[in-house]
Chain A
Amino acid sequence: MSTPASQANADAQYWAEQMAAVALRRDMDCFMRIYDHFAPRLQRYLLGMGVSAARAEELVQEALLRLWRRAESFDPARAGLATWLFRVARNLYIDSLRGEPHWLPMQEGLDWLDEQAPADAGSSAEAFADHAGLKRAIDSLPPVQARLIRMSYFEAKSHSEIAHELGMPLGSVKSSLRRAFAKLQAGLGGVP
């Protein structure tokens, strides 16, 4: 029987295999499977951030192009493919839409520092299991915390903007986000 958790694990495993094929032999079919699944989701993400459809599509294409070029640097023990693509799309968004020309080199510098550090002790199989736990944790967030998380991640609203928009004190916005992060970290199997 396929539980949501085992499904999430199987998904993560599946995408890791597609990426391995792209990295090893520039397998176009595997790449297009990744493209067909993730490009429309990245497009939705960027539209939500207020990016125009045409500009969003340029950024999606650029993100996937980077995936093709840098497939070797993808390490499934460190991050799932969804996370990897999220980071790339987020960085491209900040770089181009917020006019922060320093962002990409800075972020790539941090990524490089990460790659120098030893990988987590946990095997990649455990990382996949964590991913399923994270989905459960997201689904069970209290409504206010879920809303604040979504306003952060899908609308790129700063804490002050969220506080203003919802008429909440800034301190409450931040403490709710802290509690949400602790719950989601627990879902990841990390120490809250």
Chain B
Amino acid sequence: MRPNHHLDAATLLGYSAGALPAAFMAVAATHLSLCQVCRERLRQADRIGGALMQQQEPAPLSAGAREAMRARLAQLPPAQPPVPPAAAAASDHDRLPLPLRPYFGETFSGLRWRTIGPGVHHIRGPRMEGGDLMLLRIAPGRSVPLHSHGANELTVVLRGAYDDLLGHFAPGDAADLDGDTEHQPVTSPGVPCICVAATDAPLRFSGWLARTLQPLFKL
């Protein structure tokens, strides 16, 4: 998988700084788990963080901290070789990307979709501060009403595909949009399009079909 649409630089910086709302962290991490290009860019952002941290004026720790550290190390058992995280092992087609599993479970087949309109299903993630996380499944060949966003929306395609004025979005691609973007995705024929999305404001629809689909985005 080689995504063609990547995270905005501002999003990457926020991720590196630990400053994104949790829902955006999860969606950004999903793209990162699928995109080596953005992992490389993240490494650059982390180097910025490292350089800034090193330029800081030192702040003294408490008087006993240094000795406490030594004592702790002396008591450690011999180091074991690091174990690669089991969850990062090669995943089969049914497994969700690693960063989404804590929120939605292990597999696509285990997802419990809620119908919210003809051909449209969703699953809301757990409540999180500063933004909402959800999975969307839209039937193939369907048009989502024209909408814009009050603030930020970050979407990553997991299965299927869609097109809008920004291009073709296939699995792994990230649509990193801010408030000014108005778009009308149309899902590709074939399989349903499954996306994960984070929003930090309710979407605003313009159009009659919007009323039907409003619950989809009404958070």
Contact check, A138 vs B55: say whether CB atoms are below 8 A apart.
yes
Q: Report, as a range, how many residues of chain A touch the other chain.
A: 35 or more
**How far is A40 from B69 in the complex, measured between Cα atoms in Å?**
13
Residue from the list A40, A107, A152 in contact with B17, Cβ < 8 A? A152
**Contact A178/B52 with A80-B47, A156-B18 known, Cβ cut-off 8 Å:** no
**How far is A135 from B16 in the complex, measured between Cα atoms in Å?**
18
- Taking CB atoms, residues of chain B closer than 8 Å to A28 are 70, 73
- The answer to whether A126 has its CB under 8 Å from any CB of chain B is no
Stretch at the interface among B97-105, B161-169, B188-196, B204-212: B97-105
Nearest-neighbour CB distance to chain A for B88, whole angstroms, equals 4
**Contact A112/B84 with A61-B72, A85-B50, A181-B45 known, Cβ cut-off 8 Å:** yes
Contact check, A85 vs B22: say whether CB atoms are below 8 A apart.
no
**Contact A138/B18 with A113-B88, A185-B44 known, Cβ cut-off 8 Å:** no
- Taking CB atoms, residues of chain A closer than 8 Å to B106 are none
Give the contacts of B48-86 with A (CB-CB under 8 A). Answer: 48-62, 65-66, 68-70, 72-73, 76, 79, 81-82, 84-85
Q: How many A-B residue pairs have CB under 8 A?
A: 220
- The answer to whether A73 has its CB under 8 Å from any CB of chain B is yes
Contact check, A90 vs B18: say whether CB atoms are below 8 A apart.
yes
**How far is A113 from B152 in the complex, measured between Cα atoms in Å?**
28
**Contact A61/B10 with A45-B53, A159-B152, A184-B48 known, Cβ cut-off 8 Å:** no
- Per-position binary interface string of chain A over residues 21-54, scored 1 when its CB falls under 8 Å from any chain B CB and 0 otherwise: 0000010100110011011111111011100010
- The answer to whether B182 has its CB under 8 Å from any CB of chain A is no
Give the contacts of B1-60 with A (CB-CB under 8 A). Answer: 8-10, 12-14, 16-22, 25-26, 29, 32-33, 36, 39, 41, 43-60
- The answer to whether B111 has its CB under 8 Å from any CB of chain A is no
**Contact A83/B49 with A68-B73, A112-B88 known, Cβ cut-off 8 Å:** yes
Interface centre among A61, A86, A150, A155 (most CB of B within 10 A): A86
Contact check, B130 vs A134: say whether CB atoms are below 8 A apart.
no
Give the contacts of A124-156 with B (CB-CB under 8 A). Answer: 130-131, 134-135, 138, 149-150, 152-156
- The answer to whether B200 has its CB under 8 Å from any CB of chain A is yes
- Taking CB atoms, residues of chain A closer than 8 Å to B47 are 79-80, 83, 130-131, 134, 188
Give me the interface of A with B, judged by CB distance under 8 Å: 26, 28, 31-32, 35-36, 38-45, 47-49, 53, 57, 60-61, 64-65, 68-70, 72-73, 78-80, 82-87, 89-90, 93-94, 98, 100-103, 105-110, 112-114, 117, 130-131, 134-135, 138, 149-150, 152-160, 170-171, 173-175, 177-178, 180-182, 184-185, 188, 190
